[in-house]
Amino acid sequence: MKAWLLNDFGLDNLALGETGTPDPKAGELLVKVGAVSLNFRDKAIVDGFYEPHLVPKALIPVSDASGTVVAVGEGVNRFKVGDRVNSHLYSRWLDGEPGPDEPAYCFGMPLPGGLAEYMIIHEESAVRAPDNMSDEEASTLPIAALTAWFSLVDYGQIQPGQTVLVQGTGGVSIFAVQLATALGANVMVTSSSDANLEAVKKLGAVAGINYRTYPRWEEEVLKLTNGKGVDLLLDVAGGEGLNQSILATKAAGKIAQIGFLTGQSTTLSLMPLIFRQTTVRGIAVAPRSAFDRMNAFLNEHAIRPVIDQIYALEDARKAFEHLARGAFGKVVINVS
């Protein structure tokens, strides 16, 4: 089969080649990949700053895929040939609390990903792709949408009328705006781009703050919330900004620590954390059960993924470059 192989770190070392088509073993599905979508994780893996010691070489990258089952291994009964499925990043985390070693079973690293004509997905970790979505649309769901959903619903327990702050206008954040709005929350967004802030308002956001114009953006959040702070903050920026996130969140409020765009470590000021009694929870996407619940909600509320651009398989490197430049919504690669 045709596959993109990451032979060493750096986009120059990502090459389109040929490799053997895998055989589905007992319980496994062979999926003809229709489309994949890129996440910051995929770029960080290619660039060598996402757990580089765990990256096999060569690796078929990209975790998030959608496609059609073309063969099944012995004993498969959840899916049949012809069904459309999604990959689910934490392939062994099906429900409840995560086990201690979930990252060892993630697609796109260390398991082979979807940037190839075919991929293997165990029937237990596959999720039925929404009938009303194309493969391109469905491919955007496994990380970006599901992380936003888990942060807002399973962790955040967001109720109508509550306030949510979402950082930036990348993949996770745009889904968070759409989902939180559908849940009845008042969503505020920070962005480096006034044009993107206008665009997220069309998706339901009630206020936008340019974090370049207002580097002390947490003060603007307090002004917008009568000095109180938001009920839930989705932190995708990470780094030192976590201290600002704590100040922007209400007393006894919640922060979902999702990302590390500005840094993988921080110097945390403990006194604001203690006095504000903030809960900060690390988020690592979600179990498969949450994916099924999210798909029902997306269908009920007619939420469609925002796609910035779709690339051909041969142009995968251009797609990675697009993600690095910044995208409004998801960058997708059509594989079929």
Ligand X SMILES: NC(=O)c1ccc[n+]([C@@H]2O[C@H](COP(=O)([O-])OP(=O)(O)OC[C@H]3O[C@@H](n4cnc5c(N)ncnc54)[C@H](OP(=O)(O)O)[C@@H]3O)[C@@H](O)[C@H]2O)c1
Residues that bind ligand X (CB under 6 A): 39-41, 143-144, 147, 167-173, 190-193, 196, 211, 236-237, 241, 258-262, 283-285, 323, 326
Q: How far is the CB of 248 from ligand X (least distance, A)?
A: 12
Q: How far is the CB of 260 from ligand X (least distance, A)?
A: 5
Q: How far is the CB of 87 from ligand X (least distance, A)?
A: 14
Pick between residue 164 and residue 258 the one whose CB is nearest to ligand X. 258
Pick between residue 5 and residue 209 the one whose CB is nearest to ligand X. 209
Q: How far is the CB of 89 from ligand X (least distance, A)?
A: 8
Q: Which residue is nearest to ligand X (CB)?
A: 170
Q: How far is the CB of 286 from ligand X (least distance, A)?
A: 8
Contact 134, 304 (CB under 8 A): no
Pick between residue 195 and residue 271 the one whose CB is nearest to ligand X. 195
Pick between residue 116 and residue 205 the one whose CB is nearest to ligand X. 205
Q: How far is the CB of 152 from ligand X (least distance, A)?
A: 13
* CA proximity to 109, closest of 180, 20, 46: 46
How are beta strands 127-128 and 207-210 bridged, if at all? Answer: unpaired
Pick between residue 69 and residue 111 the one whose CB is nearest to ligand X. 111
Q: How far is the CB of 243 from ligand X (least distance, A)?
A: 13
Phi, psi (deg, nearest 5) at residue 293: -65, -40
Contacts of 180 (CB under 8 A, 6+ apart): 148, 152, 158, 164, 166, 187, 204
Pick between residue 193 and residue 266 the one whose CB is nearest to ligand X. 193
Pick between residue 129 and residue 172 the one whose CB is nearest to ligand X. 172
Pick between residue 29 and residue 55 the one whose CB is nearest to ligand X. 55
Q: How far is the CB of 37 from ligand X (least distance, A)?
A: 9
